[in-house]
């Protein structure tokens, strides 16, 4: 009893403090409502993007991945690293060993190493077993070259952003002039000189200048027309692969496992029913409605002379 | 369950049931369900064993390129391949002659020098630097190291002695120093670990 | 336990007799989950979730041990060891990582259902108070394990989640900050914190396993409760655990694994947060710091205290958050109604469902940014949570009129609970013959 009183008191105290917090919050909201933010009103959700790898049955379109890799190599890799991907992983794009060896040794940035004779720091050509060497050796160098902004590593970017590949695609194709009504309504949110307006970016103004500006920026080897839209789609597809190189095995294994478990569940359910039907048949409790007991009741009533 | 009457005489059969057909049907479903689960369990633990096999990055390190342009006849270098030492030695004509002069019957692990080198490059002796007895690294590859009485390599741990073709001649080691797969990419670079 | 009709263990095969004479482990297993453990015959599917929880504990331990073979517990290596080595290079590494990640979520889903089953059916009441309290200890250990495990990949959410949660301790006046620094081994989550979290994350699941054994042992003294809450009276009320409940648990576990497989293979990152794929940066706070979904209700309670009142708001939040779990230990003494099952407590039943809705609202509130509207909803929902357990429940259990209980489990199974529990002489709704005919 005492325990319940103490606990009840504690509960009432918490409720009271919450009530005070709520009233205070509401009062503040009414007295000085929070100023609307430009990003709340003008931020756009990603445009839908349909890739071959979408869905439970999705598979990579290797030609698209190769085109996307070409866009990455020729445009993005100037600033963005791909540190978690090894050159040998490019086998998943359909390249063979010789091509991979060439891509690695031709890569514009070399791998840090040591001069075998003098022991001084040096660089060497990349091998297939290396990961993509980053364009800048460290964060400070990266910022120094990019107006104090740090271009993020792209290995996991489609898993690291809400919206995934659709976000990357929308961002790349979303650069535009800041709408006049935004400047009128939120004069403080005018795009500063070193930033670029992009409504798909959470803060609306991104440090990255539009990387894909003209059709034909990259010449595709398979003849696909390299419009800005196409290049953005291709590089987004490539970045889905860098983030999830095992996507196809995952889907294939998943299908097998799900079907197996579905059959297993059904088999298990039937076996369970069989086991329990035996219980209901043979271990049946008997109550007043059981015919044997009803007969007993009738006999008892007859003996007692009670009408039934 | 067997009925009470008469069960005293009738021996209990395993999986007692309503009737022969009913028993088979009941058992089949249960057996099927349990075996399904068993197969599933085996398949499910397969990844647990597979994950211990060398990962892709380890397998990618399975070859090492070595520049042999600076190794003079009579010299040798020690390089690391798959985290193990490899002796790359440039044999002098005297060492080659010594190796070829040994009759195969005198060898514990009979092999000719030609069998242990590439055709046209019998002066390049490339072997693992791991004694075949219990795994120590033999001496003899570096300048001034003890090369043992046969002029090849000498293992200080238990006294195994190798000749100029790195074949076991005396001591407890059972086999010659192992020759790994290797390939001459160019006359001055060797890819150890590559078949060729 | 008190089941006189429990079948004794009689090994027929000589090998089993030999083992049993020297180490009575087969006997123990037989008596715990075999043909020698009688279980009420009327258990419904809400009773399957205890075994499901054990299943996920096993999955987590096995996948965890194997992941630990490749994980690098260092600030420089952790993120890459998970996202490069394990996810790309280790054979089947991606499967093991996704299985472990989603296994944690499913472990919590199953445990939450298991806990709410206990709340509805009065499983916490005498004589099972010990089972209940051991269960809460397991839950607290699970929360600690999950928190530390989430730090290990060393992503943005790992780091900042660790900052926030260890920051709770600094809310306590005086000893708070020294305690926080001691826990972290530093002034912010860093190498020391990461390595000790790895060590403890590996250890605690085995502690959980030990407490689970105690939990089951404590349960097997009185035996399982059942949906009517009425005690087992005789043999007709029970069935041996094997084969009846092994079969039921078997098929239902397969069904749960099916759902788990669909999520793990086809939507493995749905329950997670994208920010944890960004390497930890102590100099840059993410836009929103949120814990994993299973902590959202507690996060909501923590954040809903926004005003200093005698104590600082932060301290209120921390106290309330801990109290929200600790008060559950007192439940058997808060709710002293002699009727166990919510099926026979109409007023209690309604408040129970209000609680479920309340917890779901708290979960929603904790998962998003603290906007003014979300704050108000948080505060109301948190207030209801405390009022429910500490004010409403004692009053309801003291003053409500429960429905009449069935005479026994078998009677309720035979006639259906409604008919069986109708007062003598009245016409049961289903139209069966009046129970006045009985005996």
pLDDT tens digits, B48-62: 999 999 889 888 888
**Residues A88, B33: C-beta atoms closer than 8 Å:** no
Domain count, chain B: 2
Query: What is the pLDDT at residue A38?
Result: 81
For the cut 90, the answer to whether the pLDDT of residue C267 exceeds it is: yes
Share of chain B above pLDDT 70, in %: 86
Nearest CA to CA, how far is C306 from chain A (Å)? 5
What's the CATH number for A58-175+210-245? Answer: 1.10.760.10
Structure-token pair, residue A23: 């009233």
The interface residues of chain C toward chain A in range 276-335, judged by CB-CB distance below 8 A, are 277-279, 287, 304-307, 309, 313, 316, 320, 323, 327, 330, 333-334
DSSP line for B111-131? --TGGGSBTTBTTEEEEESS-
The pair of three-digit structure tokens given for residue A160, joined into one six-digit string? 């690291």
Closest CA to A283 of C248, C236, B14: C236
| pLDDT tens-digit series, residues B25-47 | 667 888 899 999 999 999 999 99
Q: A22-55 pLDDT, tens per residue?
A: 999 999 999 988 888 888 888 999 999 999 999 9
CATH of the domain at B135: 2.102.10.10
* B123 shares a domain with B71: yes
Determine the pLDDT at residue C439.
35
Residue in A17, A25, A254 closest to C372 by CB: A25
DSSP classification of residue C71: -
Whole-number CA gyration radius for chain A:
34
Q: How close does chain A come to B57, measured CA to CA in Å?
A: 7
Contact call for A297 and C437, based on CB within 8 A: yes
Question: For residue C133, what are its two tokens?
Answer: 């309290």
Is residue C71 within 8 A of residue C86, CB to CB? The reply is: yes
Residues B120-130: what's their mean pLDDT?
93
The domain segmentation of chain A, as residue ranges, is 58-175+210-245, 249-279
Rounded-to-10 torsion of CA C78, C84, C89, C94: 90
In tens, the pLDDT along C345-362 reads 999 999 999 999 999 999
Of the residues B158, B159, B181, B186, only one is catalytic, namely B158
Q: Supply the range of the domain harboring residue B36.
A: 1-53
Category of B173 on φ-ψ map: left (φ > 0), alpha (ψ -120 to 50) or beta: beta
Residue A26's CB is within 10 A of a number of other CB atoms, namely: 14
Residues B37, B69, single domain; the answer is no
Distance CA C358, CA C380 (A): 9
Q: Which residues of chain B are within 8 Å of residue A128 when distances are taken between CB atoms?
A: 60
Which of C89, C235, C250, C261 should we substitute to test contact with B (largest number of B Cβ atoms within 10 Å)? C89
In the DSSP assignment, the letter for residue C360 is H
Mark C39-50 as b/e (b = at least 16 C-beta within 10 Å).
bbbbbeebbbbb
Other Cβ atoms less than 10 A from the Cβ of A61: the count is 16
Separation of alpha carbons B173 and A213, rounded Å: 69
Is the CB of C410 less than 8 angstroms away from the CB of A17? Answer: no
ipTM: 0.89
B51 touches chain C (CB under 8 A): yes
Nearest to B30 among A88, A260, A271 (CB): A271
Task: Please tell me whether residues B10 and B65 are part of one structural domain.
Answer: no
Contact C69 B52 (CB under 8 A): yes
Q: Domain check: are B31 and B112 in the same one?
A: no
User: Of the residues B53, B73, B90, which one is the last residue of a structural domain?
Assistant: B53
Q: How confident is the model at residue C405 (pLDDT cuts 50, 70, 90)?
A: confident
Last residue of a domain, one of B35, B53, B71: B53
In chain A, residues with a C-beta closer than 8 Å to the C-beta of B30 are: 271, 274-275
Q: Give dist(CA B13, CA A307) in Å, integer.
A: 50
For residues B144 and B188, membership in a common domain is answered with yes
Fold of the CATH domain C37-418: Cytochrome Bc1 Complex; Chain C (1.20.810)
Domain ranges of chain C: 37-418
- B25 and B64, same domain (yes or no): no
Instruction: Report CB contact under 8 Å: A271, B40.
Output: no
User: Are B48 and B68 within one domain?
Assistant: no
Q: Given an 8 Å threshold on Cβ–Cβ distance, is C83 in contact with A155?
A: yes
Q: Which residues of A touch C380 (CB under 8 A)?
A: 18, 22
Q: Is the pLDDT confidence value at B16 over 60?
A: no
Indicate yes or no: CB of C258 within 8 angstroms of CB of A156: no
Residues of C in contact with A25 (CB under 8 A): 306-307, 372, 375-376, 379
Average the pLDDT over each of A249-258, A273-282, C148-157 and give the range with the smallest value. A273-282
Catalytic residues of C: 220, 224, 248-249, 292
Interface contact A6, partner B, CB < 8 A: no
What does the pLDDT look like over B64-93, one tens digit per residue? 889 999 999 999 999 999 989 999 999 999
Interchain contact, A282 vs B29, CB within 8 Å = no
Q: What pLDDT does C433 receive? A: 41
Residue A131, φ and ψ in degrees, nearest 5: -85, 165
Half-sphere exposure of residue C94: CA atoms within 13 angstroms, side-chain side: 21
Same domain? For B32 and B101 the reply is: no
Tell which of B53, B72, B90 closes a domain.
Answer: B53
Is B64 in the same domain as B144? yes
B158 is annotated as an active-site residue: yes
Residue-averaged pLDDT of chain A:
91
Quick one: tokens of B143? Answer: 């300048």
């Amino acid at each position: 009893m005492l325990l319940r009183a103490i606990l009840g008191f504690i509960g009432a105290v918490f409720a009271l403090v919450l009530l005070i917090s709520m009233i205070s919050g509401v009062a503040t909201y009414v007295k000085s409502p929070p100023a609307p933010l430009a990003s709340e009103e003008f931020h756009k959700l990603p445009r839908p993007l349909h890739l071959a790898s979408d869905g439970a049955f999705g598979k990579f379109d290797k030609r698209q991945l190769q085109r996307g890799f070409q866009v990455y190599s020729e445009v993005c890799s100037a600033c963005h690293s791909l540190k978690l991907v090894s050159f040998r992983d490019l086998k998943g794009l359909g390249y063979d060993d010789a091509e991979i060896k060439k891509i690695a040794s031709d890569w514009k940035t070399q791998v840090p190493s040591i001069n075998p004779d003098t022991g001084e720091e040096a660089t060497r050509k990349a091998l297939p077993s290396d990961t993509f060497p980053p364009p800048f050796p460290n964060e400070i160098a990266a910022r120094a070259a990019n107006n104090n902004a740090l271009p993020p590593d792209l290995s996991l970017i489609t898993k690291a952003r809400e919206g995934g590949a659709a976000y990357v695609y929308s961002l790349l194709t979303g650069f535009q002039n800041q709408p006049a009504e935004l400047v009128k309504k939120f004069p403080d949110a005018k795009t500063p000189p070193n930033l670029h307006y992009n409504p798909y970016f959470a803060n609306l103004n991104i440090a990255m200048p539009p990387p894909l500006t003209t059709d034909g920026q990259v010449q595709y080897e398979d003849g696909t027309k390299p419009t800005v839209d196409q290049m953005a789609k291709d590089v987004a597809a490539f970045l889905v692969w860098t983030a999830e190189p095992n996507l196809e095995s995952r889907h294939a294994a998943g299908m097998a496992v799900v079907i197996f478990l579905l059959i297993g569940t059904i088999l298990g359910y039937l076996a369970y029913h069989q086991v329990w039907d035996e219980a209901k048949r043979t271990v049946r409790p008997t109550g007043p409605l059981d015919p044997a007991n009803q007969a007993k009741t009738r006999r008892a009533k007859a003996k007692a002379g009670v009408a039934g | 369950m067997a009925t009470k009457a008469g069960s005293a005489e009738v021996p209990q059969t395993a999986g007692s049931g309503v009737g022969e057909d009913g028993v088979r049907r009941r058992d089949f479903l249960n057996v099927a369900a349990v075996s399904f689960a068993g197969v599933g369990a085996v398949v499910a633990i397969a990844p647990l064993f597979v994950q211990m096999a060398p990962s892709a990055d380890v397998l990618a390190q399975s070859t090492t390129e070595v520049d042999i342009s600076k190794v003079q006849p009579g010299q040798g270098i020690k390089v690391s391949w798959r985290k193990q030492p490899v002796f790359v030695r440039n044999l002098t004509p005297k060492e080659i002659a010594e190796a070829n002069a040994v009759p195969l019957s005198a060898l514990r692990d009979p092999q000719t020098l030609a069998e242990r080198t590439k055709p046209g490059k019998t002066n390049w002796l490339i072997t693992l630097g791991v004694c075949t007895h219990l795994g120590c690294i033999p001496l003899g590859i570096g300048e001034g190291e003890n090369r043992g009485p046969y002029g090849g390599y000498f293992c200080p741990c238990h006294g195994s002695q190798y000749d100029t073709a790195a074949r076991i001649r005396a001591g407890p080691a059972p086999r010659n120093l192992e020759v790994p797969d290797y390939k001459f990419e160019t006359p001055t670079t060797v890819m150890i670990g590559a078949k060729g | 336990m008190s089941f006189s009709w429990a079948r004794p263990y009689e090994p027929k095969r000589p090998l089993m007799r030999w083992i049993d004479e020297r180490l009575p482990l087969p006997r123990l297993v037989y008596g715990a989950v075999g043909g020698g453990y009688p279980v009420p015959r009327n258990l419904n599917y809400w009773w399957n979730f205890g075994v499901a929880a054990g299943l996920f504990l096993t999955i987590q331990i096995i996948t965890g041990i194997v992941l630990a073979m490749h994980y690098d517990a260092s600030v420089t290596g952790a993120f890459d060891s998970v996202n490069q080595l394990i996810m790309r290079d280790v054979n089947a590494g991606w499967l093991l990582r996704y299985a472990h990640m989603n296994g944690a979520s499913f472990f919590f889903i199953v445990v939450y259902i298991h806990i709410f089953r206990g709340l509805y059916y009065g499983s916490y009441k005498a004589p099972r108070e010990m089972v209940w309290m051991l269960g809460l200890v397991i839950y607290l250990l699970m929360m600690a394990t999950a928190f530390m495990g989430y730090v290990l990949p060393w992503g943005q959410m790992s780091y900042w989640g660790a900052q926030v949660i260890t920051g709770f301790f600094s809310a306590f006046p005086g000893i708070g900050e020294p305690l926080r620094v001691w826990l972290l081994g530093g002034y912010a989550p860093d190498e020391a914190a990461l390595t000790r979290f790895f060590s403890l994350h590996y250890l605690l699941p085995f502690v959980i396993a030990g407490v689970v054994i105690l939990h089951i042992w404590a349960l097997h003294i009185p035996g399982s409760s059942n949906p009517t809450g009425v005690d087992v009276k005789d043999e007709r009320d029970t069935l041996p655990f094997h084969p009846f409940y092994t079969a039921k648990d078997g098929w239902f576990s397969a069904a749960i694994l099916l759902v788990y497989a669909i999520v793990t293979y086809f939507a493995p990152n749905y329950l997670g947060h994208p920010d944890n794929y960004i390497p930890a940066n102590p100099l840059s706070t993410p836009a929103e710091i949120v814990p994993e979904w299973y902590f959202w209700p507690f996060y909501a309670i923590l954040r809903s205290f926004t005003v200093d009142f005698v104590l600082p708001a932060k301290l209120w939040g921390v106290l309330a958050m801990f109290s929200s779990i600790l008060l559950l230990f007192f439940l058997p003494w808060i709710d002293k109604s002699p009727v166990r099952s919510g099926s026979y407590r109409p007023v209690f039943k309604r408040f129970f469902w209000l609680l479920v809705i309340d917890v779901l609202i708290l979960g929603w509130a904790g998962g998003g940014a603290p906007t003014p509207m979300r704050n108000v909803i948080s505060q109301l929902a948190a207030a209801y949570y405390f009022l429910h357990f500490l004010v409403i429940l004692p009053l309801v259990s003291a003053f409500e009129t429960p429905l009449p209980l069935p005479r026994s489990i078998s009677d309720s199974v035979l006639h259906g609970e409604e008919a069986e529990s109708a007062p003598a002489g009245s016409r049961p709704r289903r139209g069966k013959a009046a129970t006045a005919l009985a005996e």
